[in-house]
Structure 1
Amino acid sequence: MSFKIAIIGAGSVGFTKKLFTDILCVPEFEDIEFALTDVSEHNLAMIKAILDRIVEANKLPTKVTATTNRREALEGARYIISCVRVGGLEAYADDIRIPLKYGIDQCVGDTICAGGILYGQRNIPVILDFCKDIREVAAAGAKFLNYANPMAMNTWAAIEYGKVDTVGLCHGVQHGAEQIAQVLGAKSPKELDYVCSGINHQTWFIELKLNGRPIGKDELISAFEAHPVYSKQEKLRIDVLKRFGVYSTESNGHLSEYLPWYRKRPDEIARWIDMSEWIHGETGGYLRYSTETRNWFETEYPQFLEAASKPIDSAKRSNEHASHILEALETNRVYRGHFNVKNNGVITNLPQDAIIESPGFVDRFGINMAAGITLPEACAATCMASINVQRMSVHAAIAGDIDLLKLAVLHDPLVGAVSTPEEVWQMVDEMVVAQAQWLPQYAHAVPAAKERLSKSKVKTREWAGAARRSVRSIEELRAEKAALKQAG
């Protein structure tokens, strides 16, 4: 087979390498072309050198090109994969820092909440630019695979306004299933059969079977509470399991910021999170992790390049959906996964226009969703709160409507639990002004926002958050890695 895959945001070096090696684990795909594009020439050069080394080491005919000219990369592409972060870590830092001034303590801030909503405002205009290029220069019927957060908002915009065949992809379901299989004592995650449905980052394991045996709420609670690690790291998720009756896909830290109950007061945050890893609820945890990862990669790049000389091991193919979807579409080998698509009746008690995440099957006819799923009422109610925020956020981003943007933020579950309307109005003004260079649709609103900020009497505070860790230096990371290796 010979076709072209374009990767936008290919400068996300580690993730691009994973996608690349996964796809090349499919024997029929060795003769395809990967076209890499990014705004950073530096990152493009690094990832191209790594992928070229992989191709050379494995004696493959695979072609790899790299360009900052996005339309050139997309020209003739059958598949387009996006893993972009518009504004990079600079804008992301403001997604965490500014809401903290108003008492809103986020762990990740990339899905909803104040940070995720502004992230979507930055991404959506760029996503629509991608879609325009796809319509104009990509292969007829090209499929857009979106890995970028905020997943639901980006996918919503691409389908509804970009008019491109789009699917959103995330690995939360797979990771949650691996956890459940582990606490139940399964030898392999493959022993667990499940139905998991909802919206991205709020997907719910509504049916579980281990080797054909149904698993009920009480057994699952007991298994998690007895686990020596997860009982400490996933306290919030276990509490939601007890109250809702089903387990959520998302980590303790992710889930905590989509709900109005656990991060509303600093003393409550400490009660529900775990500081052993960022993902369990640390304030600004993913920002710290991302900063450390970038610094580590830059420093250790020669070692990453050397590692690329090893043969591809198909046994280590990851469970990221992309390679499996492409394999199913091109070879007709059926793949079952969980995909972000427009609802259109798949989940009976969520809105038709919402972007849902639910089971589907892929073959040469496309992605075929399993329809007629009904969520437990509490799960649907929680999803609905996020969907309403997502819808307003997408519409605000399309129209450049700062008033609608403020209403979207006001209706966010965690923001509403913490902040007054006056605080929300000022916070959004402050975020739009701080991120103006990435928000072209709000250029007309920035002067008035600055004027309001100059006269505002709403009090704020400089605050690191309830559970903040400092960014570790390369030396500290190296020492910790060495200690772990010695202990292991």
Structure 2
Amino acid sequence: MSFKIAIIGAGSVGFTKKLFTDILCVPEFKDIEFALTDVSEHNLQMIKAILDRIVEANRLPTRVTATTDRRKALEGARYVISCVRVGGLEAYADDIRIPLKYGIDQCVGDTICAGGILYGQRNIPVILDFCKDMREVAETNVKFLNYANPMAMNTWAAIEYGKVDTVGLCHGVQHGAEQIAEVLGAKSTQELDYVCSGINHQTWFIDLRLNGRPIGKDELVAAFEVHPVYSRQEKLRIDVLKRFGVYSTESNGHLSEYLPWYRKRPDEITRWIDMSDWIHGETGGYLRYSTETRNWFETEYPQFLEAASKPIDRAKRSNEHASHILEALETNRVYRGHFNVKNNGVITNLPQDAIIESPGFVDRFGINMAAGITLPEACAATCIASINVQRMSVHAAISGDIDLLKLAVLHDPLVGAVSTPEEVWQMVDEMVVAQAAWLPQYAHAVPAARERLSTSQVKTREWAGAARRSVRSIEELRAEKAALKQAG
């Protein structure tokens, strides 16, 4: 087979390498072309060197090109994969820092809440540019695989306004299934059969079977509560399981910021989170992790390049959906996974226009969703609150309506539990002014927002958050990795 895959945001080096090696685990795909594109020439050249080394080491005919000219990369592409982070870590830092001034403490801030909503405002204009280029220069039936957050908003915009065949992909479901298999004593997730449905980062394991045996709430709660690690790391997630009756796919820290109950007071935050790793609820945890990862890669690049000389091990193909979807579409080997698509009746008690994440099957006819799923009422209610915020956020990003943007942020569950309307109005003004370089649709609103900020009487505070850690130096990271290696 010979076709072209374009990867936008290919400077996300580790993830691009994973997708690349996964795809090349499919024997039929050895003769394809990967076109890498990114706004950073520096990052592009680093990842191209790594991928070229993989191709050389495995003696493959695979072609790898790299260009900052996105349109050139998209020419003739059959598949386009997006891993972009618009605004980079600079804008992301504001997604965490500014809401903290108003008492809003986020662990990740990339889905909803104040940070996730502004992230969507930066992404959506760029997503629509991607779609325009795809319609004009890619293959006629190009498929867009979006990995970038905020997943639901980006996918919603690409489908509804970009008019491109789009699927959103995430790995939260797989990671949740791995946890469940472990606490139930399964040898692998192959023993676990499950239906997981909802919206991205708020999907729910509504049907669980271990080797064909149904697993109920009480058994699952007991299994998590006796686990020596998860009983500490997933306290909030276990509490939601007890109250809702089903387990959420998302990590302790991620789940905490989509709900109005666990992060609204500093003492509650420290009660429910765990500081053993960023993902369990640390303030700005993913920002710290991303910063450390970037610094580590820049410093240790020669080691990454050397590691690329090893042969591809097909047994280590990851459970990221992209390679499996492409394999199913191109070879007709059926793949079952969980995909982000427009609802259109798949989940009976969620809005039709929402982007849902639910089970589906892929073959040469495309992605076919399992329809007629009904969520437990509490799960549906929680999802609908987020969907309403997502819908307003998408419409605000498309129209450049700053008042609608403020209403979207006001209706966010955690923001509403913490901040007053006056605080939300000022916070959004401050975020739009700070991120104006990445928000072209709000250019007309920036002068008035800046003027309002100069006369505002709303008080803020400089606050690092309830559970903040400093970015570790390269020396500290080296010492920690060495200690972990020595320990086992």
Q: TM-score range by the shorter chain?
A: over 0.9
Structure 1 residue 257 corresponds to structure 2 residue 257: yes
- Post-superposition offset of 1:456: 0.2
- Post-superposition offset of 1:470: 0.4
Structure 1 residue 157 corresponds to structure 2 residue 187: no
After superposition, give the CA deviation of every residue in 1:130-179 in whole Å (9 maximum; x if it has no partner).
00000000001000000000000000000000000000000000000000
Distance 2:332 2:295 in 1: 41
Distance 2:437 2:472 in 1: 29
Distance 1:25 1:140 in 2: 26
- Post-superposition offset of 1:271: 0.2
TM score, norm. by length of structure 2: 1.00
Distance 1:187 1:410 in 2: 45
Q: What SS does the corresponding residue of 2:34 show, helix, strand or coil?
A: strand
- Post-superposition offset of 1:327: 0.0
- Post-superposition offset of 1:475: 0.2
Q: Aligned residue pairs: how many?
A: 488
Structure 1 residue 350 corresponds to structure 2 residue 350: yes
- Post-superposition offset of 1:421: 0.1
Where does residue 432 of structure 1 map in the other structure? 432
Where does residue 329 of structure 1 map in the other structure? 329
- Post-superposition offset of 1:119: 0.1
Q: What SS does the corresponding residue of 2:414 show, helix, strand or coil?
A: helix
The 5 A counterparts of 1:385-400 are 385-400=385-400
- Post-superposition offset of 1:465: 0.1
- Post-superposition offset of 1:29: 0.1
- Post-superposition offset of 1:419: 0.1
- Post-superposition offset of 1:229: 0.1
After superposition, give the CA deviation of every residue in 1:210-233 in whole Å (9 maximum; x if it has no partner).
000000000000000000000000
Distance 1:448 1:140 in 2: 43
After superposition, give the CA deviation of every residue in 1:190-223 in whole Å (9 maximum; x if it has no partner).
1000000000000000000000000000000000
- Post-superposition offset of 1:235: 0.1
Distance 2:463 2:271 in 1: 19
Where does residue 410 of structure 2 map in the other structure? 410
- Post-superposition offset of 1:8: 0.1
After superposition, give the CA deviation of every residue in 1:68-110 in whole Å (9 maximum; x if it has no partner).
0000000000000000000000000000000000000000000
- Post-superposition offset of 1:264: 0.3
Structure 1 residue 371 corresponds to structure 2 residue 371: yes
After superposition, give the CA deviation of every residue in 1:339-388 in whole Å (9 maximum; x if it has no partner).
00000000000000000000000000000000000000000000000000
- Post-superposition offset of 1:262: 0.0
Distance 2:189 2:404 in 1: 43
Distance 2:409 2:229 in 1: 35
Q: What SS does the corresponding residue of 2:423 show, helix, strand or coil?
A: helix
Question: What is the RMSD of the two structures over their aligned residues, measured on CA atoms?
Answer: 0.2
- Post-superposition offset of 1:43: 0.1
- Post-superposition offset of 1:334: 0.0
Distance 1:343 1:394 in 2: 16
- Post-superposition offset of 1:49: 0.1
The 5 A counterparts of 1:106-255 are 106-255=106-255
- Post-superposition offset of 1:45: 0.2
Distance 1:188 1:443 in 2: 52
After superposition, give the CA deviation of every residue in 1:227-282 in whole Å (9 maximum; x if it has no partner).
00000000000000000000000000000000000000000000000000000000
Distance 2:64 2:204 in 1: 39
Distance 1:292 1:223 in 2: 34
Distance 1:367 1:331 in 2: 14
Distance 2:389 2:193 in 1: 32
Distance 1:227 1:339 in 2: 30
Where does residue 280 of structure 2 map in the other structure? 280
- Post-superposition offset of 1:65: 0.1
- Superposition misfits of 4+ residues, deviation over 4 angstroms: none
- Post-superposition offset of 1:473: 0.1
- Percent of counterpart pairs with the same letter? 94
After superposition, give the CA deviation of every residue in 1:100-128 in whole Å (9 maximum; x if it has no partner).
00000000000000000000000000000
Q: What SS does the corresponding residue of 1:405 show, helix, strand or coil?
A: helix
Distance 2:171 2:188 in 1: 17
